């Protein structure tokens, strides 16, 4: 007797099935509502395919899996599309114009969003009412899934004409007000400003002149980074030009005007525009400036009662005669000084001998090449702490150019405090260095905290500044032993601002165990200041890229890999269009592996290093220099 066995084979899919998204191609794009602020909605690109017949985006390692959206450009001509993470942690985004069957690439972005490695595009000067097609994909097309997206545009400005000017409060210190010139037009009637390549798209503010008769209006950058500004007097329908400025602000190429001798209680009209035309965000403040003989007070060394402190010893002391310093002329200082005073600053020191010298080692970056002037004084104070009487204790250094020299103070009493005053000749703004002294109280950045946390994305460092002065950038330093530090990246600073700022840096590919970090703050003249050292403990091993250095690189790149097992990793170096210029697979053993690659043949520019292991993929931006 035979037994019949029936074998039934059921074939199961290896991967879960997803329906293609409805917006898998441009002609079925999902319409986004453009709000006045970002309101995220969640979508997915799971099972999305590559769109044929559309120009390649050219960034963010596009290789398919795209979905499409549309947004109608509002009346302001400004459109911002931002993305946030979901399953997707690293996105690509591109803007296109035209029709769904015939599209033209407008802009492509990899990771400009503040949300980690996600994408954002903000574009002005678009045609109101036009439709923008928006392409979204996951970097490398190997981690598709959910993400969030929003479209927004600020409302058009209301202060487009002088009679609709926004009134600025006049404070004792700069308190910036957020502003923009989106949707603004050329004001017809007021005299042309005559500077900063004015071509329209202006907005207006007003300020009431304080009892001192002096006022300063300053601007800071946003998406607008180069402004023009003009002062007018009169009525909003009949204005007279008083002064025009291009880039006197300490905030990069932004504008600032200081004006004294004005009529207290009168109204100043303030015109602001983007150099050469264009629109964007910026901030603005109005400050009540003290009269020249006022005692004054300040958080910086701008006034005699609040000087910075110098200490004699090895090293150099560097500062500037920046045009933001005001003319402080207390007591009889003008009669015992060898020149006029326009933008002086103050530095106190305690005499440790009867003679002290201040060798001026460099004077650079002067606006007019007039140089600086300096003098040491003995000072008496009144009961309010104001400087009242000045006695010369040194020669007066005032060459009228950038010739170097020495200020020598004699007849000092050991233990007494004296004051070094430094001024820009004819108000010149210069950077200067005095050797043999160090300074405190004029640090370019007030860093209030530095913190670090280990996450699945890497070690996240965050820090906050309460104020910044000529801050160029932060260099993030890394160490495994808290003694030998190497740079692993930079974060751009805010220049000069009295407002607090938050910063973040993600160190990817960190080995398990304790890592140490510190910041080196670098100001515009190259001076560096170290922060405290913090430690971050990473408990999990993450296979793949540990770090690559030097960065910037010139002839050779060292790629450090780490692995918890024997495996094969893929190494790619891609240009800004996402095209691989180096691609190879490497067999690595457990532990660390160093690769040395000759990259001298690469052109100068920015590249992306991608290391893909069995369980992760890490990226690092690298810069090639010649």
| Domain range list for the chain | 26-152, 162-288, 308-439, 445-538, 544-624
Answer whether residue 13 shows pLDDT above 50.
no
Most confident option among 31-40, 303-312, 441-450: 31-40
**From its phi and psi, is residue 523 left (phi > 0), alpha (psi between -120 and 50) or beta?**
beta
Give whole-number Cα distances, 484 to 273, 478, 479, in Å.
48, 8, 6
Q: Can you tell me the mean pLDDT for 215-231?
A: 86
CA geometry: angle 43, 45, 47, nearest 5 deg: 135
If pLDDT is split at 50, 70 and 90, which confidence band does 280 have?
confident
pLDDT value at residue 82: 92
CA 16, 22, 24 angle in degrees (round to 5)? 85
As a whole number, mean pLDDT of residues 382-391 equals 76
**The domain made up of 445-538 is a member of CATH 2.60.40.10:** yes
Least trusted range by pLDDT, from 30-39, 64-73, 235-244, 515-524: 515-524
Structure tokens at 530: 């170290």
> Element (H or E) spanning 515, and its range?
strand 513-523
Q: How confident is the model at residue 383 (pLDDT cuts 50, 70, 90)?
A: low
Mean pLDDT (the chain) is 83
Calculate the CA 360 to chain-centre distance: 31
Report whether 623 contacts 552 (CB < 8 A). yes
pLDDT band at 448 (very low <50, low <70, confident <90, very high): low
Quick: pLDDT tens for 118-134. 998 988 778 889 999 99
464's enclosing H/E stretch is strand 458-479
For tokens 């930079």, what's the residue?
490
Q: What is the pLDDT of residue 324?
A: 56
Q: Are 135 and 83 in contact (CB under 8 A)?
A: no
pLDDT at 297: 45
Instruction: Name the pLDDT band for 293 (thresholds 50, 70, 90).
Output: very low
Residue with structure tokens 């097992």?
Answer: 565
At residue 482, the pLDDT reads 78
With cut-offs at 50, 70 and 90, classify the pLDDT of residue 251: confident
292, pLDDT greater than 70: no
- Report the alpha-carbon distance of residue 624 to residue 554 in Å, rounded: 6
d(CA 251, CA 496): 5
β-strand pairing of 556-563 with 591-598: antiparallel
* Sequence-ordered list of residues with C-beta below 8 angstroms from that of 583, at least 6 positions apart, any chain: 570, 571, 572, 573
CATH classification of 162-288 is 2.70.98.60, yes or no?
A: no
DSSP-derived secondary structure letter, 226: B
Is the pLDDT assigned to residue 475 strictly greater than 80?
A: yes
CATH 2.40.50.1020 describes domain 26-152: no
Phi, psi of 354 (to 5 degrees): -80, -15
Q: How far is CA 60 from CA 27, 241, 610, 613, in A?
A: 23, 49, 12, 19
Q: Rounded mean pLDDT of 554-575?
A: 83
Please tell me the total number of residues recorded for the chain in this structure.
626
Closest CA to 126 of 185, 74, 55: 74
The pLDDT, as a whole number, for residue 469 is 67
Instruction: Enumerate residues 6+ apart whose C-beta is below 8 A from 13.
Output: none
pLDDT tens-digit series, residues 73-94: 988 788 889 999 999 999 999 9
Q: How far apart are the C-alpha atoms of 267 and 256, rounded to whole Å?
A: 17
Residue 27's φ and ψ, nearest 5 degrees, are -75, -5
pTM, two decimal places: 0.42
| pLDDT value, residue 501 | 73
State the Cα–Cα distance between residues 233 and 265, nearest whole angstrom. 12
What pLDDT score does 98 carry?
A: 94
Kindly provide the b/e burial profile for residues 183-206, where b requires at least 16 CB atoms within 10 angstroms of the residue's own CB.
bbeebeebeebebbebeebbbbbb
pLDDT exceeds 80 at position 294: no
Supply the Cα-derived Rg of the chain in whole angstroms: 30
Is residue 182 within 8 Å of 157, Cβ to Cβ? yes
Which of the listed CATH numbers 2.60.120, 1.10.3470, 2.40.50, 2.60.40 matches domain 308-439?
A: 2.60.120
Identify which of 292-301, 355-364, 425-434 has the greatest average pLDDT: 355-364
In CATH terms, are 162-288 and 308-439 the same topology? yes
CATH C-level class of 544-624: mainly beta
Structure tokens at 268: 């100043």
**Rounded Cα gap, residues 210 and 545, in angstroms:** 60
């Amino acid at each position: 007797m035979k037994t019949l066995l029936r074998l039934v084979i059921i074939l199961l899919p290896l991967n879960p099935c997803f329906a293609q998204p409805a917006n898998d191609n441009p002609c079925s794009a999902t319409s986004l509502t453009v709000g006045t602020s970002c309101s995220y909605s969640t979508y997915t690109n799971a099972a999305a395919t590559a769109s044929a017949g559309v120009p390649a985006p050219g960034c963010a390692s596009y290789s398919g899996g795209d979905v499409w959206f549309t947004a109608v450009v509002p009346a302001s001509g400004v459109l911002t599309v931002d993305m946030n993470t979901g399953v997707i942690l690293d996105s690509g985004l591109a803007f296109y114009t035209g029709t769904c069957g015939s599209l033209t690439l407008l802009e492509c972005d990899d990771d400009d969003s503040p949300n980690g490695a996600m994408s954002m595009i903000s574009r002005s000067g678009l045609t109101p009412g036009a439709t923008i097609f928006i392409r979204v994909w996951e970097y490398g097309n190997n981690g598709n899934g959910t993400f969030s997206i929003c479209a927004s545009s600020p409302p058009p400005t209301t202060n487009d004409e002088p009679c609709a000017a926004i009134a600025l409060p006049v404070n004792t210190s700069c308190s910036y007000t957020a502003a923009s010139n989106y949707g603004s037009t050329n004001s017809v009637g007021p005299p042309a400003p005559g500077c900063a390549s004015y071509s329209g798209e202006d907005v207006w503010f007003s300020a009431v002149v304080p009892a001192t008769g002096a006022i300063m209006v300053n601007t800071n950058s946003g998406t607008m980074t180069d402004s023009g500004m003009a002062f007018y007097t009169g009525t909003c329908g009949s204005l007279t030009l008083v002064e025009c400025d291009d880039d006197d602000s300490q905030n990069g190429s932004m504008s600032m005007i200081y004006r004294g001798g004005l009529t207290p209680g009168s109204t100043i009209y303030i015109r602001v525009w983007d150099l050469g035309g264009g629109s964007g965000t910026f901030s603005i403040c109005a400050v009540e400036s003290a009269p020249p003989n006022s005692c004054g007070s300040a958080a910086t060394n701008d006034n005699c009662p609040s000087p910075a402190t110098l200490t004699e010893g090895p090293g150099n002391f560097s500062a500037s005669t920046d045009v933001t310093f005001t003319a402080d002329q207390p007591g009889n200082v003008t009669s015992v000084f060898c020149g006029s005073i326009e933008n002086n600053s103050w530095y106190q020191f305690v005499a440790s001998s009867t003679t002290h010298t201040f060798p001026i080692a460099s004077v650079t970056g002067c606006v007019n090449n007039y140089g600086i002037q300096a003098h040491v004084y003995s000072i008496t104070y009144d009961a309010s702490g104001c400087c009242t009487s000045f006695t010369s204790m040194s020669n007066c250094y005032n060459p009228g150019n950038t010739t170097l020299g020495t200020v020598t103070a004699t007849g000092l009493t050991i233990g007494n405090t004296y004051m070094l005053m430094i001024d820009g000749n004819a108000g010149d703004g210069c950077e200067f260095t005095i050797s043999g002294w160090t300074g405190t109280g004029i640090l370019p950045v007030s860093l209030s905290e530095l913190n670090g946390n280990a996450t699945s994305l890497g070690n996240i460092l965050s820090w906050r500044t309460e104020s910044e002065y000529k801050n160029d950038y932060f260099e993030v330093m890394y160490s495994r032993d808290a003694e030998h530090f190497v740079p692993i990246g930079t974060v751009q600073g805010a220049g000069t601002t009295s407002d607090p700022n938050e910063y973040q840096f993600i160190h990817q590919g960190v080995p398990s165990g304790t890592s140490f970090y510190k910041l080196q703050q670098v100001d515009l003249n190259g001076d560096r200041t170290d922060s405290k050292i913090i430690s971050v403990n990473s408990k999990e091993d993450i296979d793949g890229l540990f770090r690559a250095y030097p960065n910037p690189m010139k002839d050779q790149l060292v790629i450090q890999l780490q692995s918890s097992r024997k495996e094969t990793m893929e190494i790619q170096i891609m240009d800004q269009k996402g095209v691989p210029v180096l691609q190879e697979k490497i067999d690595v053993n457990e532990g660390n592996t160093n690769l040395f690659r000759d990259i001298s043949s690469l052109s100068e520019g920015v590249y992306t290093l991608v290391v893909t292991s069995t369980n992760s993929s890490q990226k690092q931006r690298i810069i090639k220099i010649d």
